Structure 1
Amino acid sequence: MSSVEIKTLTNTSNPKQQQIQVAPRPQKNVWNQTMATLYLLEQGTSLLKEQFRFLIHVPDKDKIEVPIRDVERILLFGNINLSTPAIATCLESRITVLFLSLSGRYKGHLWSKEASNLNVELLQFQHQNDHQFQLNTSKAIVRGKLINSKQLLLRLNRQRNILDKLKRT
């Protein structure tokens, strides 16, 4: 017999409202009440629209309900089905949908012309094959981490020296 996972999710806008989900086994699809991005990873998943919510349906598993108002973007990895009403809702609600391969490679997108941050996302996709940009970004990240680590070690050393002086007195 498979284990049962029970999750109680509290709505951040209304703490008294709780949603209980019972799943016969954990799903790869990721959704959290506090998240604005919906990640669909499990192959064969269907995203449907029913009234004011999205339904995530995976064959042989319980459906997950997600309020449409809580979703800002949807990332689809691999073979994920999107119903026509779900597409229309995404366009009307300005919810960006990104189509990615299983490994996360960009394939395409669906977004309304009124959606925001499109220029930033387009620029990010343009840089995905720019090896010089990736190298420079990686160097900047590593440099920042090294500087922060040095500052932390210096601060910890100062605190240790102060403690040593206090112990001697």
Structure 2
Amino acid sequence: MPTVHDFTAESLGGASVKLADYRGKVLLIVNTASKCGFTPQYKGLEAVYQQFRDKGVEVLGFPCNQFGSQEPGTEEEIGAFCEKNFGVTFPLFAKIDVNGSNAHPLYKHLKSEAPGLMGTEAIKWNFTKFLVKKDGTVYKRYAPQTDPKDLTEDIEKLLAQ
């Protein structure tokens, strides 16, 4: 049975990142966009990262342009925007598709392990969140409107395991 640790993704800077490098950490994986009504959640995601990173939590952002073309920029533009406007220091990855035939294999896995409402696997919008246990298994999926601070209790629960 594959886990999140079996996948590789390209960083915003173009380096290949093995998600196995995050083994033993709780992961919060989010598809992001710079021109979305939920974009201010970058601030909340960064706050979660600052609160928990020294305790073993990583926030991983995956820019996606599939919803209303709300992530039109290049990787350089995305990184600059996130740092300048929201002080993002958590890892951001190269722009990916989360739905359809070109969906990144990581997202195919996340969606199959934690379907949304009524069992649908499709990601409905930007800032859908997945919480992943230290062993790489998917714990839970959260809707775009779920504020990152509302994940604190679940994060603490997974850190204690």
TM-score normalised by the shorter chain: which range applies? under 0.3
Q: Larger relative contact order (C-alpha < 8 A, sep ≥ 6)?
A: 2
Q: Which has the larger radius of gyration?
A: 1
